[in-house]
Structure 1
Amino acid sequence: MAQPASRNTRRSGGNSIFTGVLIGLTVGAVLAVGVALWITGSNPFTSATPPAVPSQPVPATPEAAPSFDFYKVLPSDTPSELPPSAVPTAAAPRYYLQAGAFQNADDADNLKAQLAMLGVEAVIQTGEVADKGVFHRVRVGPFNAMDEVNRTRSLLTQNDIPATLVKEIPNPQETP
């Protein structure tokens, strides 16, 4: 009886994979160089010499370099006066409307929410008052002009919210 062909006659796939990778890398590199040359617009196959352009005659004499006299550049030895110093002007006062002061923080939050419903932005400042404890002040402002103060105050009185005018004069170091 005839013996069957042995199954050990496998082809080695290592060479074909290596050859495919090598061909792929070569084709990819050639395409990358071609795209780069196409995008930059340079053509390596043209001659490097630029076309002949008729040139203008060059003047024979070079331009004279400017000369500097060292002692004319430096300031004079005479003492100069100092620039006038800025006279500090009185800082414009800022006005606030204090809508309330509460020992309970929740009450201050409720008033702030009520003012927000009216379209008035308020801030809660927490501070300690001597012999009375911690107070939460609800303030509207700051205002720079009394017209703004009067408009906001009339809005608050229409909604039964009493407000007290607080005038604050900032320190000169606080103002920019």
Structure 2
Amino acid sequence: MAKKKDSTSLRWLIPVALLSGFVGFLVYLDSLEPDGGDSQPETATSPEQPPEQESSSAPPDFQFYEMLPDSEVATPDIEAYRPDKSESEQNLEYILQAGSFRSQEDAERQRAQVGFQGLRARIAEVSVDDGGVWYRVMVGPFDSRSRMNQAVDRLVEINIQPMVRRRKAEGDG
């Protein structure tokens, strides 16, 4: 019984000794002079020439001032983006598919995760030819590309890569 007690106290003695040594080393480093003492030779000032004369006698030589006017960068000619008029006249809306799952529980989990981002999501049940059912998490519809892009940014922040779908707006037209 006494042997077990001695080994437990030895286990604490080593870390305490290491910690004390480390603290002592930090105190020693703090007591050193910041310039490093006398180990470095004095080269900055000489009795013949003061430092002020050295810096004011010759301005620094920057070559990029001469090189800049001579350099020319050729940029490609690209037309500014103009939205397609036919697309804006078609009265489209955008829907994001945030995921497609075989189990409804997974789809509900994804819908809740999307809901925490402040986006409205719904689950669409889709039957496949082989008799299976897929549950799609759909976000939207959005009436403008900018609102859709804001929603895409929110989804990407939580590592969801949505698929963008376009369709004609319902109710108008």
Query: Taking structure 2 as the reference length, what is the TM-score of the superposition?
Result: 0.45
Query: Taking structure 1 as the reference length, what is the TM-score of the superposition?
Result: 0.45
